[in-house]
A and B are shown apart, each in its own frame.
Chain A
Amino acid sequence: MTSEQALTAYILRLGDSALILGQRMLELVAAYPELEEELANANFALDYIGQARMFYTYAAEREGAGRSEDDLAYLRAEHEFRNLLLVEQPNGHFGDTIVRQVLFDAYYLLLLEALTHCSDERLAEIAARAEKEVRYHLRHSAQWLLRLGDGTEESHQKVQGSLDDLWRYTGEMFAADILDDTLRTSFDGPDLSAISSQWLTDITAIVEEATLTLPQQQPMATGGKQGRHTEHFGYLIAEMQYLPRTYPGVTW
């Protein structure tokens, strides 16, 4: 794989995580307990879908194989998606959703910040745009984590459980593979070990303020970056891809 091909695969992977997280959040549309939070969730979900579109469009252009952003989203199979396992985890209860968002966004924000300084101009521009959106998402979700953690005894217990359950999916974010290495060495991309320690500092601060306990060190689940997904993933893309697969070429 040349470094240019690695860059294309890397951009596609960024699109995958954004799309799958957006799709997960869209499952909650019309299911929120409060109108204002409902709007916020739908706004945020569409932010991620918008980011996925920018990444996919760019990846498709670089690939030059005649595939469109829709082909990438709707006509690839399970193992071809390279999103992080964390973003495909089910919404669960509200605490599960919030913890997933905080863990991912705290990482994603640092990653995007680093990508704004990478040597590929267009990727840096996309990252700069996404960074502003994600900074707000993190502010919103982190506040909710504080309210739940430092709320009632029940909310504290539930959200501590969410943190303990989802922690095992965080290691994968910092496990650098050949794409991450190529980005760093050939395109001035993110240094995942630096991001890892900054993320832990940020998360520790939020978790402690929320009066929660950081989960202990444990074996981490990996595989999403290589296309090996958790059992939830097939159901997610089955629903997401149903329409274009049932009615190929359908348009508005």
Chain B
Amino acid sequence: MSEQVWPLYEVFIRSRGGLSHRHAGSVHAADDQMALDHARDTYTRRSEGVSLWVVRSDRIVASDPAETAAFFEPAEDKIYRHPTFYDIPDGVENL
């Protein structure tokens, strides 16, 4: 392994048309195009997708684990925000 480590990129794959991109993992690469190639060669070898996004990991703004309570717990007791009071018609997928 080389001593100098290339920047990390996060990889997102759209598995088929109509679905959103999902985080699949990460790759190291020296530049954007190389990151795209590496994502293709590492994560789509078994026909996993039809579209790829890569983004430098250090460009992602993430929530602070220490603030998890303030960020997410207020939503927990607000059940009226969930669409659980509706019947979902048969045949509706990926809702």
Contact = CB atoms under 8 A, between A and B. Distances in A.
A34 B42 contact: no
Given A140-B37, A143-B33, A147-B30, A36 B42 contact: yes
Interface string B44-55: 010000000000
A36 B28 CA distance: 7
A40 interface: yes
Chain A interface size range = 10 to 19
Nearest to B6: A34
Contact of A143 (B6, B27, B28, B34): B34
B45 A43 contact: yes
Interface residues of B, number: 16
B27 A36 contact: yes
B29 A36 contact: yes
A43 to B, nearest CB: 6
Contact of A33 (B2, B27, B33): B2
B30 A143 contact: no
A39 interface: yes
A39 B28 contact: no
B42 A39 contact: yes
A143 B37 CA distance: 10
Nearest to B1: A33
Interface string A1-35: 00000000000000000000000000000000111
Nearest to A46: B45
Contact of B28 (A34, A43, A139, A140): A34
Contacts of B28: 34-36
Given A143-B33, A143-B34, A147-B30, A36 B41 contact: yes
B41 A40 contact: yes
B21 interface: no
Interface string B4-29: 00100000000000000000000111
29 contacts: A33-B1, A34-B1, A34-B2, A34-B6, A34-B28, A35-B28, A36-B27, A36-B28, A36-B29, A36-B38, A36-B41, A36-B42, A37-B38, A39-B38, A39-B42, A39-B45, A40-B37, A40-B38, A40-B41, A43-B41, A43-B45, A136-B40, A139-B37, A140-B37, A143-B33, A143-B34, A147-B30, A147-B31, A147-B34
Interface of A: 33-37, 39-40, 43, 136, 139-140, 143, 147
The 6 A-B pairs with the shortest beta carbon distances in the complex, nearest first, are: A36-B38, A40-B41, A33-B2, A39-B41, A36-B27, A140-B37
